[in-house]
A and B are shown apart, each in its own frame.
Chain A
């Protein structure tokens, strides 16, 4: 059924179709609507679930874990400080191998207090043992709600799954979604079989136990092995089943758009990928060999796929709504590690944007690509060492994205002082001056 829904509403529809038996939640903007809709569904009898309105996020996940230990399919949702308040329980749920599905509405973390979107909340918790996926739009969010259960509950996986929706950009933005029929959802997602990891008087098992130094490493190794090996395999099995039922196809851990012959590639995740998609097709139409790599799963981290997609790129940018102060964005760190392991030496740059709900505009994305083109041209002329002209970390809206003067100098072009950046033949390499106009170097805008 086609509907015009917000991301929160769409996700609630996906959860309804997954038929969780226990929902425990504590409201927080911009997650609130998803738990409100679910409470209405439970109240009206549309969804047969036990709804527990707990007193905190710490309790929300604790209750979900307790319910999962009885063999129930469970759901919770949170955001920002709420997710951070849950952090202690995240490792319990992961270590206990409880396949809880949680929606996180990506939101800035305090201080300063801010209710708007960025990804600093979930990216701070990559090490807590949860599968982490990031939705680009409301359809993908709804579909991930269903697929998350199918992946998490698979016998080979048995891990909690966090689906991330950009706060406001998805949670509060309405768009067209297609809601599967209950029979379709049931064909995608079988009932949860908790055998071996739940209270069962006929088959008693030890749960929630301790493991000293002589055993602990095995648990961590198994978690790592299953996350790294089983999850990608199960994701692809589930996506295939999903496509057979709904006709909608998902590309696995990453989506590589026009990366095969790309000279310059932007790596990003979440809703900004939609904006970047448009910019890439625009640049392609004007002859620029641009590509987009959308990371769909941050955990497990698809290092090999990323390296394969970026193999051949001459310059790479990672655009993310996150910063690890004094270092760089965490996505950037992860991508660099993947490239280093694969022996890929293309220069990489980190662009930090969208913090606290700040807009990432089409101009920003175009400027990033233009900066990459300049770097690629410099490297071709002068070798890899020339790539250091562009800073490693650039804050959109704070730092200038001006790739000059290195670019102009290297290419012998005339530098324009009208803010147009690279002289015509240089950046684009094919003498099309109209494209140089697109290269609008942004002024430093400190607000």
Chain B
């Protein structure tokens, strides 16, 4: 089972991302996914979490994810020391930040068996969408990591579950996120990818 833990603030689209990732991952025959938010009253700007689980078998455990393969911070200010406790060994943390991963590990600590990837998702979405809605950047980024998910599956989920007027821009965001992941830098900044 692959588990993804999303940290965001109300309005950043963390749950939408969790849901789209589940939808995209389960397009393949024989694949199952669950997606849910941390339940409770929602307020714009308040910290919230969302979860995606992906497996080759039906998923019966509906408990919140406490240790994930991928931990995504849609808001940099939610990252704090102790982040390592939420990542499985070999997993990684993706942070929406214009700072480098080196900077972030210097500030929040390193880990021997998990690593931080920094992506300026606000910058990417601002450029392509006109607004800093960072969620779909990370769908592209996760699709570039491992073989769980293809870019095409992410785009199909966007087309199936987002309003039509958002399709084209978000598909371009996915492509851009994948390019950044491939090339290992945003705007030539060193050390963004580790």
Chain A contacts to B: CB under 8 angstroms: 4, 115-116, 137, 168-169, 172-176, 271, 273-278, 357, 359-362
Contact check, A168 vs B36: say whether CB atoms are below 8 A apart: yes
Contact B61 A278 (CB under 8 A): yes
Smallest CB separation, B11 vs chain A (Å):
18
Q: Is B35 an interface residue (CB 8 A)?
A: yes
Minimum Cβ distance to chain B for residue A169 (Å): 5
Question: Taking beta carbons and an 8 Å cutoff, which residues of B are in contact with A?
Answer: 19, 22-23, 26, 32-37, 39-40, 58-64, 157, 161
* Chain A: minimal CB distance from B89 (Å): 19
In the assembled complex, the CB of B66 is this many whole angstroms from the nearest CB of chain A, namely: 10
Given A175-B32, A175-B33, A274-B59, A116 and B26 contact (CB-CB distance below 8 Å): no
Can you sample 27 A-B contacts with CB below 8 Å?
A4-B19, A4-B26, A4-B161, A137-B58, A168-B36, A168-B39, A169-B62, A172-B37, A173-B34, A174-B34, A174-B36, A175-B22, A175-B26, A175-B34, A176-B32, A273-B60, A274-B58, A274-B59, A274-B60, A275-B61, A275-B63, A277-B60, A278-B61, A357-B39, A359-B64, A360-B63, A362-B61
**List of B residues within 8 angstroms of A169 by Cβ:** 62
Q: Are B22 and A116 in contact (CB under 8 A)?
A: no
- CB of B102 to closest CB in A, whole Å: 36
Q: How far is the CB of A298 from chain B (nearest CB, A)?
A: 20
Most chain B CB inside 10 Å of its own CB: which residue of A137, A173, A276, A277 = A173
Q: How far is the CB of B161 from chain A (nearest CB, A)?
A: 7
CA distance A361 to B64 in the complex (A): 9
Question: For residue A4, which residues in chain B have a CB less than 8 angstroms away from its CB?
Answer: 19, 22-23, 26, 33, 35, 157, 161
CA distance A359 to B157 in the complex (A): 30
Q: Which residues of A contact B161 (CB under 8 A)?
A: 4
C-alpha gap A174/B62 in the complex (Å): 11
A359-B63 CB under 8 A given contacts A4-B19, A175-B22, A176-B26: yes
Q: A4-B19, A174-B34, A176-B26 are in contact. Are A275 and B39 (CB under 8 A)?
A: no
Give the distance to chain B from A372, nearest Cβ to Cβ, in Å: 19
- CA–CA, A357 and B19, complex, Å: 21
Chain A residues whose CB sits within 8 angstroms of the CB of B63 once the complex forms: 275, 359-362
Cα–Cα distance between A396 and B71 once the two chains are bound (Å): 29
Q: A174-B35, A175-B35, A275-B63 are in contact. List 18 more A-B contacts (CB 8 A).
A: A4-B26, A116-B39, A168-B36, A168-B39, A173-B35, A174-B33, A174-B36, A175-B22, A175-B26, A175-B32, A175-B33, A175-B59, A176-B26, A176-B32, A274-B61, A274-B62, A275-B60, A278-B61
Within the complex, the shortest CB–CB distance from B121 to chain A, in Å, comes to 23
Nearest CB on A from B135, distance (A)? 15
Cα distance, A4 to B35, chains bound together (Å): 9
Taking CB atoms, residues of chain A closer than 8 Å to B64 are 359
Q: Name B62's contact: one of A173, A176, A277 (CB within 8 Å).
A: A173
Contacts known (A4-B33, A168-B36); A174 close to B22, Cβ less than 8 A:
yes
Asked if A271 meets B62 with Cβ closer than 8 Å, knowing A174-B19, A174-B22, the reply is: yes
Give Cα A391–Cα B60 distance, bound, in whole angstroms.
28
A359 to B39, CA, bound (A): 12
Once A4-B23, A176-B26 are accepted as A-B contacts, the answer to whether A278 and B60 lie under 8 Å apart by CB is yes
Bound CA–CA A383/B40 (angstroms) = 48
Which chain A residue shows the least CB distance to B27?
A: A2
Task: List the A side residues contacting B62 at CB < 8 Å.
Answer: 169, 173, 271, 274-275
Q: Contacts of A275 on B, CB cut-off 8 Å?
A: 60-63
What residues of chain A lie closer than 8 Å to B60, measured between beta carbons?
Answer: 273-278
Point out the residues of chain A lying under 8 angstroms from B40, CB to CB: 115
Contact A172 B32 (CB under 8 A): no
Query: Once the chains are docked, how many angstroms separate the CA of A273 from the CA of B60?
Result: 8
B36 touches A172 (CB 8 A): yes
- CB distance A176 to B33 under 8 Å? yes
Cβ contacts under 8 Å, B26 to chain A: 4, 175-176
Q: Which of B61, B157, B161 has the most CB of A within 10 A?
A: B61
Q: Which residue of A lies closest to B41 (CB)?
A: A115
Measured between beta carbons, the chain B residues less than 8 angstroms from A361 are 63
Residues on A with beta carbons closer than 8 Å to the beta carbon of B34? 173-175
Q: How far is the CA of A154 from the CA of B136 in the complex (A)?
A: 48
B26 to chain A, nearest CB (A): 5
CA–CA, A271 to B60, complex, Å?
8
**Residues in chain A near residue B37, CB distance under 8 A:** 172
User: Which residues from A are CB-within-8-Å of B58?
Assistant: 137, 274
Chain B's closest residue to A116 (CB) is B39
Q: How far is the CB of B43 from chain A (nearest CB, A)?
A: 15
A359 surroundings in chain B (CB, below 8 A): 63-64
A440 to chain B, nearest CB (A): 15
Q: Which residue of A lies closest to B29 (CB)?
A: A2
Could you tell me the distance between the alpha carbons of A360 and B33 in the complex, rounded to whole angstroms?
Answer: 20
Minimum CB–CB distance for A106 against chain B, Å: 13
* CB of A143, distance to nearest CB on chain B (Å): 15
Residues of chain B lying within 8 A (CB to CB) of residue A168: 36, 39
Closest to A166 in B: B62
| In the A-B complex, the 3 residue pairs with the closest CB atoms | A274-B60, A4-B23, A173-B36
Docked Cα-Cα span, A362 to B67, in Å, equals 14
Residues of A within 8 A of B36 (CB): 168, 172-174
Q: Which residues of B contact A362 (CB under 8 A)?
A: 61, 63
For residue A363, which residue of chain B has the nearest CB? B63
CB neighbours of A115 from chain B (8 A): 40
Measured CB to CB, the nearest residue on chain A to B53 is A175
Report B-chain residues with C-beta under 8 Å of the C-beta of A174.
19, 22-23, 33-36
The interface residues of chain B lying within 8 Å CB-to-CB of A176 are 26, 32-33
B residues near A273, Cβ cutoff 8 Å: 60
In Å, the complex CA distance between A271 and B35 comes to: 15
